[in-house]
Amino acid sequence: MKSLESKIRDHSAHVGVIGLGYVGLPLATEFAEEGFKVTGFDISMDKCKLINSGMSDIGDVSSERVKAQIKIKNLSATDDFSKLKQVDCVAICVPTPLSKTKDPDVTYILNAVDQVKKYLHKNMLVVLESTTYPGTTEELIRPLLESTGLKIGRDFFLAFSPERIDPGNERYGTKNTPRIVGGTTPRCRKIAKSFYEQVINHAHIVSSTQAAEMVKLLENTFRSVNIALVNEVALMCDRLKIDVWEIIDAASTKPFGFMPFYPGPGLGGHCIPIDPHYLAWKLKSLNYYSRFIELAGDINSQMPEYVIDRVTRALNSSGKALKGSKVVVLGVAYKRDISDLRESPALDVYRLLESHGAKVVYNDPYVPLVHFDKRDKKSVKLTASLLKTADIVVILTDHTNFNYQWIVDNSKLVFDTRNACQRVRNGKKKIIRL
């Protein structure tokens, strides 16, 4: 009988991926394209039907890629978790949201591990990819799987390898973004490294699953803190009557010791607004208060309110009140050129505008429909007439397919939170920048 390591190396191992979203589907597709038989697992029957029909709902994975692998039967999707007993290697790629009190919600992880536990067998590799607090793999998952009587490092193998997906990034994807791999034992680490090396260009080994968990949190805490710093600089520059974008551009000319970050209407995406809170929560259990993380979170979470203040001031300067004004919002995705709405600050700004009595519509070429606050909002067609009748246009997501010159030419007033209009001509009187 072949060892698991041999099956991984000759691509005869059956790969399972639990969770077929922004992380799971790209990973499953990469393994399928390398010749592995891959079964994707998801609790959504509709999601499974979509994939099995050869369609993708993830921007970073084209339907053509999925269809090709479905056709040759390298890829399939199911909501029947009993098929895990046929799998040799399984990657868990499920969401890890925060509760309303900003505590880690590991429900999705535990539900996935419960399914794996039911069908755990000898010579099986289990890897958690979902971002979580240091200690999750060792303290929560290991005991659950060991309760089956199978011995870790001998009968089955457990590792943590954090996802590093950046939706919409055309330069770095699943394959060419280095992987961090930490195992619960040296053999677990070795097998997990071999597993990822089949589809990823480089795997970087760390000493433990706790170290691997901490790496991901450091990466996103770094971004959160630096974005908070530049957001606060934007608040300072507003009071000093200085252009923050000019300051950042000038500082960026220094070839060492400076890395540019940019202000905006708030933080979005699944990682940066959430991951630092996982670390802060864990440290509180160790009687340590993470001041940088908490302060950064406070500053970033207040940016939507600051946008409302600036919009109100902009309207006041033209003799109008926010209440009753017609506002056109451009972009509701959390960043440019994607459809991802997770934690999007644009939705917070939208709600605040409405709560202050503004009449709000939005256009986003990537998001035709938004469901929030128990209602649906549809993207309106962007026309010259729409812009001309708006009291103010608010740019919240700087999609590259917006024609900013045309937008400014047809608008009375534009509030630009992303510096998207930096190259627009003759717009000084119309454009107000964050």
Catalytically active residues, by annotation: 271
Other Cβ atoms within 10 Å of 123 Cβ, number = 19
Place of tokens 């971002």: 131
Q: How far is CA 200 from the centre of its chain?
A: 20
> Amino acid identity of 223?
R
Given a contact cutoff of 8 angstroms between Cβ atoms, the answer to whether 196 and 178 are in contact is no
**What tokens were used for 296?**
């950064």
Q: Report the length, in residues, of the chain.
A: 434
**Strand intervals (E) in 118-184:** 124-128, 156-160, 179-183
DSSP string, 324-374: T-EEEEE--SSSTT----TT-HHHHHHHHHHHTT-EEEEE-TT-SEEEETT
**What tokens were used for 212?**
């691997």
> What are phi and psi for residue 182, nearest 5 degrees?
-130, 135
**What tokens were used for 284?**
């509180």
> What are phi and psi for residue 361, nearest 5 degrees?
-130, 160
Do strands 375-378 and 369-372 pair parallel, antiparallel, or not at all (unpaired)? antiparallel
What three-state secondary structure class fits 49? helix
CA 211/CA 205 separation, integer angstroms = 10
What three-state secondary structure class fits 179? strand
Given a contact cutoff of 8 angstroms between Cβ atoms, the answer to whether 331 and 255 are in contact is no
* 102, 108, 188, 310, 426 from 423: Cα distances, Å: 40, 45, 53, 22, 10
Place of tokens 């399984």: 90
